[in-house]
């Protein structure tokens, strides 16, 4: 994968089992921050999306549980010397992640003098830990409650990784000095829950066929005995309530418009990408036409 302005993430060339979603990974970023001055951020965000998709595929479809446990430990320790304990495909993935984080951190350090490696490596480790929880649930046939599922699922959807990278890339030195990332916890969580719920509505049918843990609809059905239609209505109600909560948080969070816009736009773009199913993994004709119109077809004046 190559998106310009940085090093190549040649993961698909080395790991043949990965979903090749380069265009989709970039399309998300156009919605996150469309203004021309955010070109560097869009390149970073597209790479973030690509690495998230890669790691998700490893935990979901390819890795053995014992391998996933070791990989999670290596990411949590963030120790390049520990990769000898990993199989070859995981070494490639960890090195790509490690190099990418260092590349972003180096650019941020040059720009505003702050070391952001600690917060970046933590959010990636949290993502891997959440994937490991889901891998264990799946292999053990465990059925979580909706609350338990969402407490893990808002992290495993990947939005915290997207938003922490947005925070460090879009911030300037004075903002990082005056406003802590922790002050945006609520809006990060709400944006992540929204993406998780919308994703579940769009992907549940495909993932039931391919094999995966119960998603929001199934968790609610298992917990309450509700029909699939009633469970779908409940999830849609949760989406509506989460939007209300996030809109309020957007007005009460410390002023950082470009970052708050990304948090809101994640929700907006999720409604677009999952409107007709799982367009991130399997393009339907409507989504394909929309992407072609947005990125490739010239505007006729």
Residue 280: pLDDT band (50, 70, 90) is very low
User: Does any domain span residue 1?
Assistant: no
Backbone angles phi, psi at 116, to 5 degrees: -105, 5
Non-local CB neighbours of 19 within 8 Å, separated by 6+ positions: 53, 57, 281
User: Does any domain span residue 7?
Assistant: no
Q: Which pLDDT belongs to residue 210? A: 55
User: Does any domain span residue 293?
Assistant: no
CATH number for position 243: 1.10.600.10
Residue 1: pLDDT band (50, 70, 90) is very low
* Count of structural domains, the chain: 1
Question: What does the DSSP 8-state code read for residue 63?
Answer: -
User: Does any domain span residue 299?
Assistant: no
- Per the CB < 8 A criterion, the answer to whether 72 and 134 are in contact is no
User: Does any domain span residue 77?
Assistant: yes
Question: What does the DSSP 8-state code read for residue 113?
Answer: S
Per-residue pLDDT reduced to its tens digit, 203-259:
766 555 556 789 999 999 999 999 999 999 999 999 999 999 999 999 998 889 999
Question: In 58-116, which residue ranges form alpha helices assigned H by DSSP?
Answer: 65-77, 88-112
User: Does any domain span residue 199?
Assistant: yes
Q: Which pLDDT belongs to residue 272? A: 84
User: Does any domain span residue 41?
Assistant: yes
Residue 80, pLDDT > 90, answer yes
Per-residue pLDDT reduced to its tens digit, 38-79:
999 999 999 999 999 999 999 988 899 999 999 999 999 999
Print the domain residue range for 120: 17-286
Residue 167, pLDDT > 70, answer yes
**The three-state (H, E, C) secondary structure of 205-254, written as one string:** HHHHHHCCCCCHHHHHHHHHCCCHHHHHHHHHHHHHHHHHHHHHHHHHCC
Q: In 3D, which of 36, 50, 34, 27 has the Cα closest to residue 261?
A: 34
């Amino acid at each position: 994968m190559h998106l310009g302005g940085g090093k190549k993430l040649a993961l698909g060339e080395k790991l043949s089992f990965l979903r090749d979603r380069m265009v989709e990974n970039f399309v998300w970023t156009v919605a996150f921050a469309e203004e021309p001055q955010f070109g560097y951020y869009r390149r970073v965000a597209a790479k973030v999306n690509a690495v998230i998709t890669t790691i998700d595929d490893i935990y979901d479809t390819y890795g053995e549980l014992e391998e996933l446990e070791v990989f999670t430990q290596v990411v949590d320790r963030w120790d390049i010397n520990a990769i000898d304990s990993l199989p070859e495909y995981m070494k490639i993935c960890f090195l790509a992640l490690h190099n990418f984080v260092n590349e972003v951190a180096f650019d941020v350090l040059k720009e505003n003098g702050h070391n952001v490696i600690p917060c970046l490596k933590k959010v990636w480790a949290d993502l891997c830990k959440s994937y490991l929880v889901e891998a264990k649930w799946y292999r053990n046939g465990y059925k979580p409650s909706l609350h338990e599922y969402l407490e893990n699922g808002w992290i495993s959807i990947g939005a915290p990784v997207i938003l922490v990278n947005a925070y460090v890339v879009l911030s300037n030195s004075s903002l990082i000095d005056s406003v802590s990332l922790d002050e945006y916890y609520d809006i990060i969580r709400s944006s992540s829950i929204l993406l998780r719920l919308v994703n579940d509505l769009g992907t549940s049918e495909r993932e039931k066929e391919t094999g995966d843990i119960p998603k929001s609809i199934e968790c609610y059905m298992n917990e309450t005995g509700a029909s699939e239609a009633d469970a779908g209505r409940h999830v849609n109600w949760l989406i509506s309530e989460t939007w209300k909560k996030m809109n309020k948080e957007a007005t009460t969070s410390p002023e950082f418009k470009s970052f708050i816009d990304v948090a809101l736009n994640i929700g907006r773009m999720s409604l677009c990408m999952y409107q007709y199913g799982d367009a991130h993994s399997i393009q339907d004709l409507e989504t394909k036409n929309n992407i072609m119109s947005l990125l490739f077809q010239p505007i006729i004046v």
